[in-house]
Chains A and B, each alone.
Chain A
Amino acid sequence: MTEYQEGSGSIIDELVSGDMSREQFIRRASLLGISATAIGGMLAAAGKATAADLRVASALAGGTVNLLVPAEGAEKGIQDKFGEIKSRFGIDVKMTALPVGPLIEKLAQSVKAPTGTYDLISVLGFTVAAFVGGGYFMPLNKLVKTAAPAGYNFPRDFAAGELQYTGYFSPARGAFGGKTLYLIPGLYAGPIILFYRKDLLDKAGVAVPKTWAEYLDAAKALNGNGIAGNTMIAKSGDVSMFLVDWYTRFTSQGGQLMSGSPQKKNFAPRLTSPAAVAALEHMVECVQYSTKGVNSYDFTISTDAFSAGKTAMMIMWSTIAGPVYNPKTSKVADKVAVSITPGVGGRRGQIVRGGWGMGIPKNAKNKDAAWTLLTYLTSKEWGIYEVGAHQTDPARNSVFFDPGLNKKFPYLKTAGAANAKAHILEIANIPETFELITIAAQQFAGALSGSTTAAAACKKANDEWVKVLKRGGHLT
């Protein structure tokens, strides 16, 4: 108990030590809103008074957990399981599911207040530096070692890169990785893969592209007869345009986004490097073999276009695989196939690391139950359920490569392979991540819509990045 009660007394302690009678305990526990089943469990466990049983009792302590998650699909799976969570763990889940923008706002307000609104929060990888780095979350090392359920299989069931990104962090150094664990990867991993119409590729005699040159040729060959060779997210300022379309091309060809480091105050952008400009130029060429409205395409419209059968190829977050393979929401459900994204040699399939991690803020009111819920939502069991029922991205390898799931959803193992190769975005460790990505996406859109050249757009973006980095004190 003392592992994570941090000073505040626990009534279970008092029951065990004899400071509280059985009757008093029942009365106090019910006042706390603990369910009868849980109380029974605690009493039984307290009778034995060993450390292991105390843990079981605390896991059954239940109560209410205020959960904050993104509204990207998994909230449906969580909602499905409200009843089961209540009966198994005695926990009442009060879930708030929001789009990314409002979620970050709510997260910010909650962790900085004296007592938190939320006990368990899903943290986006890009915001780890700001919030975990700000010291708002509690370390989970001891908990995962001593209070994890059987079969949790931490850390082996997670891709190494995932743990580096939405798991371990070093606030002192402001860097990913290190020895302290603050988050457990979940609910989504967010890899990026290539979706294509196998019927159209077969008909045109085009092989699945392995390099970017092949990709452009394929787009050319497949374009026509009312079908666009490819589409992309080209909407100005769209975060996904930068991450999905530009960064994939950039990093899979060995591009280095930054030089120096924030700590040394020489963190400088390299958007004018040949690799950066080439990546953007490739996108500009691909636009010629896209649909007419591509310049206002965001994540959702791009997916709709593919599902409506208007596109031959699309690079996208694997999370849309579910809707695209589902005959109820996609006209091409039986014609779509996936592969890892193109690239140079061993970098083929290298994408930006996305994903979320679940953590417990230091100011959470109900940390015991929050931990129990955390282990459940990041478990293989829940992952298998969620993918089966709602086809969102999992986070665990055992779910990505589960044979049963892959029979129904063959894209899973490709997504899992991509997840293993993901590369952490070099600017993910400073608070200005979103601002920088938005600025770049705004400037790149100029090149994509033809109002400026790729080189000029990259130069402008680079200049703006220098301004922001200087303002943030990462560059002198």
Chain B
Amino acid sequence: MSGRVVGRVISYVVLVLIGLAGIAPFVYLLILSFKSRIDVLTVPPDLHFDWSTIQENYRTVIHDQHYVTFVVNSIIVTGVSTLIALGLGVPAAYAFSRLRFRGADTWASTILSFRFMPPIAVAIPIFLMIRSLGLVDSQFGLILPYVAFSLPLVIWIMIGFFDEIPREIDESAMVDGLTRPLVLLRVLLPLARPGMLVAATFGVIFVWNEFLVGLYIVNSTDRETIPIAASSLLTVESPIDWNLAATVGILTVIPILIFSMVVQRYIVRGITAGAVR
């Protein structure tokens, strides 16, 4: 069946092309990060690499520009805010899933809709709130609003997962005398663990890349997270050091790369849960 074979070959070619289209920009950025400032101006980039240039670029970014500080800040801020969001959101989602009360659905919808507010609409009021709390330029000042950003999605995803757990489990536990909060804690939490991982993953994705609110709240360099630090590279007032900017870009991508390889499965599950609800 030569038609079949031709079809197969075409399919593989298409597959490779798709892969290339997806990865080409990264490869280009990687190449740029290996070049010295003046070689950036040559096109097409010649593939002759100088190990010392590469070292120089990466050393400048990691060492001189405190890259490690930014990664640490990002990890702390993202991690803590996601944990808090889980702590607040899981019980709330449980309540929405199990308890019937008037307007439950409307409340759930309103909660999700907060996620879609344009950041510029809330950036300054949030900044003013944080400032009046005296938390400007602190990690906690970032964590507080970030919890609010991931909370709606955490709740929404967890509602979906709780809905999947049959109510009978709750009910038999309550027959045994447990109150609802305890049911949640002892019985359901272990069952909902995959869901929590999914919710945590999405929480991390959205907070890790947040930049506008952070820009207002953070003042000093050692409190900056990766997106905030990266934004000062896109200055229009002085020539951009493209090779260094590319290096920063690559270094930013690495944690995300690791993260995405680890959580690939959860991303698929999470979106499905949302779609099915």
Q: A residues bordering B, Cβ < 8 Å?
A: 66, 70-73, 94-100, 102, 105-106, 109, 113, 117-118, 238, 298-300, 303-304, 307-308, 319-320, 323, 327-331
Q: Which residue of B lies closest to A323 (CB)?
A: B239
* Residues of chain A lying within 8 A (CB to CB) of residue B121: none
Chain B residues 228-262 with CB under 8 Å of chain A are 231-232, 234-240
Asked whether A307 lies within 8 Å of B216 as measured between CB atoms, the reply is: no
Given A117-B219, A320-B239, A71 and B232 contact (CB-CB distance below 8 Å)? yes
The CA-CA distance from A383 to B15 in the complex, in Å, is 58
Given A117-B137, A329-B38, A99 and B235 contact (CB-CB distance below 8 Å)? yes
Chain B residues 59-109 with CB under 8 Å of chain A are none
B107 smallest CB distance to A (angstroms): 35
Asked whether B238 lies within 8 Å of A102 as measured between CB atoms, the reply is: no
**In this assembly, does B127 line the interface, its C-beta being within 8 Å of a C-beta of chain A?**
yes
Asked whether B232 lies within 8 Å of A304 as measured between CB atoms, the reply is: no
* Residues of chain B lying within 8 A (CB to CB) of residue A98: 232
Asked whether B236 lies within 8 Å of A299 as measured between CB atoms, the reply is: yes
The CA-CA distance from A72 to B240 in the complex, in Å, is 10
**Number of A-B pairs, beta carbon distance below 8 Å:** 71
Given A97-B232, A329-B38, A330-B38, A299 and B216 contact (CB-CB distance below 8 Å)? no
* Residues of chain B lying within 8 A (CB to CB) of residue A117: 136-137, 219
Asked whether B235 lies within 8 Å of A109 as measured between CB atoms, the reply is: no
* Residues of chain A lying within 8 A (CB to CB) of residue B42: 308
**In this assembly, does B41 line the interface, its C-beta being within 8 Å of a C-beta of chain A?**
yes
Asked whether B238 lies within 8 Å of A319 as measured between CB atoms, the reply is: yes
* Residues of chain A lying within 8 A (CB to CB) of residue B240: 300
Nearest first, the 10 A-B pairs at minimum CB distance are A99-B235, A308-B41, A329-B37, A72-B238, A300-B239, A300-B240, A303-B239, A298-B236, A72-B237, A329-B38
Q: Which residue of A lies closest to B221 (CB)?
A: A96
Can you pick out 5 interface pairs between chain A and chain B where the beta carbons lie within 8 Å of each other? A71-B235, A99-B236, A102-B215, A308-B42, A330-B38
* Residues of chain B lying within 8 A (CB to CB) of residue A238: 236
Asked whether A70 lies within 8 Å of B237 as measured between CB atoms, the reply is: yes
The 0/1 profile, CB within 8 Å of A marked 1, for residues 26-41 of chain B is 0000000000111001
Q: Which residue of B lies closest to A99 (CB)?
A: B235
Chain B residues 29-57 with CB under 8 Å of chain A are 36-38, 41-42
The CA-CA distance from A105 to B131 in the complex, in Å, is 14
- Given contacts A72-B235, A99-B234, A102-B215, list 7 more A-B pairs with CB under 8 A: A71-B237, A73-B238, A100-B237, A118-B219, A300-B236, A327-B38, A331-B41
* Residues of chain A lying within 8 A (CB to CB) of residue B220: 66, 94, 96
Given A96-B221, A117-B137, A304-B41, A102 and B232 contact (CB-CB distance below 8 Å)? yes
The CA-CA distance from A298 to B237 in the complex, in Å, is 9
* Residues of chain A lying within 8 A (CB to CB) of residue B237: 70-72, 99-100, 299
Q: Which residue of B lies closest to A238 (CB)?
A: B236
Given A117-B137, A328-B37, A331-B38, A105 and B236 contact (CB-CB distance below 8 Å)? no
The CA-CA distance from A417 to B215 in the complex, in Å, is 39
The 0/1 profile, CB within 8 Å of A marked 1, for residues 120-152 of chain B is 000000010001000011000000000000000
Asked whether B232 lies within 8 Å of A113 as measured between CB atoms, the reply is: no
Q: Which residue of A lies closest to B242 (CB)?
A: A304
The CA-CA distance from A118 to B137 in the complex, in Å, is 12
B131 smallest CB distance to A (angstroms): 7
The 0/1 profile, CB within 8 Å of A marked 1, for residues 207-220 of chain B is 00000000110011
Q: Which residue of B lies closest to A118 (CB)?
A: B219
Contact for B131 among A73, A109, A320, A328, CB less than 8 A: A109
* Residues of chain B lying within 8 A (CB to CB) of residue A94: 220
* Residues of chain B lying within 8 A (CB to CB) of residue A105: 215-216
A297 smallest CB distance to B (angstroms): 11
* Residues of chain B lying within 8 A (CB to CB) of residue A66: 219-220
* Residues of chain A lying within 8 A (CB to CB) of residue B137: 117
The CA-CA distance from A331 to B39 in the complex, in Å, is 9
B21 smallest CB distance to A (angstroms): 24
* Residues of chain B lying within 8 A (CB to CB) of residue A303: 239
Asked whether B239 lies within 8 Å of A299 as measured between CB atoms, the reply is: yes
* Residues of chain A lying within 8 A (CB to CB) of residue B216: 105, 109
* Residues of chain B lying within 8 A (CB to CB) of residue A109: 127, 131, 216
* Residues of chain A lying within 8 A (CB to CB) of residue B236: 99, 238, 298-300
Q: Which residue of B lies closest to A233 (CB)?
A: B236
Given A72-B237, A298-B236, A307 and B41 contact (CB-CB distance below 8 Å)? yes
A118 smallest CB distance to B (angstroms): 8
Asked whether B38 lies within 8 Å of A299 as measured between CB atoms, the reply is: no
* Residues of chain B lying within 8 A (CB to CB) of residue A100: 235, 237
A272 smallest CB distance to B (angstroms): 29
B264 smallest CB distance to A (angstroms): 35
* Residues of chain A lying within 8 A (CB to CB) of residue B239: 299-300, 303-304, 320, 323, 329
Q: Which residue of B lies closest to A117 (CB)?
A: B219
Q: Which residue of B lies closest to A105 (CB)?
A: B216
Most buried by B among A95, A97, A102, A319: A102
The CA-CA distance from A308 to B38 in the complex, in Å, is 8
Most buried by A among B215, B216, B221, B236: B236
The CA-CA distance from A319 to B239 in the complex, in Å, is 10
* Residues of chain B lying within 8 A (CB to CB) of residue A308: 41-42
